[in-house]
Amino acid sequence: MWRATKIVCCLWLAIFISFFVVSLSIGGDALNGYVANGHYFLGNRHRFTEVGPTVFAYSRWHAMIMMWSLPVAALLAVAFSAMVKAPPSTPRRDLPSDDLRRNLP
């Protein structure tokens, strides 16, 4: 379970970073953009950049995957942290105690 949680969280982080870098480089994202008269615009803080339909579709899918994978990664992390419990503290028993050493021949 730990490995799966780690993989999902790392994948989400990679998706988030790539979404951030790509949206900065292409001028915004499709979730904040719009389509008007066959023209596609990506939105970024009330500024819009016209792009082709392929870039618009890519941006929309990338944003949707990021948004849908966040709850999955968060739920897995919470579920795993609830499952993992600290081991009880027990004294070390791998070495004989001093009393036993004194009684040895």
Number of folded domains that form the chain: 1
pLDDT tens across 37-65, in order? 999 999 998 899 999 999 999 999 998 98
- In order, the DSSP letters of 4-57 are HHHHHHHHHHHHHHHHHHHHHHHTSEEEEEEEETTEEEEEETTEEEEE-HHHHH
The pLDDT, as a whole number, for residue 105 is 58
Contact present, 89 and 56 (Cβ < 8 Å): no
Answer yes or no: is 48 within a domain: yes
**Structural domain of residue 45, as residue ranges?**
2-84
**Tokens 């799966």 identify what position?**
4
Residue 25 lies in a domain: yes
Residue 97 included in any domain: no
- Tokens of residue 15, six digits: 């998706």
- CA–CA dist 62, 43 (Å, integer): 14
Question: What is the average pLDDT value for the chain, to the nearest integer?
Answer: 81
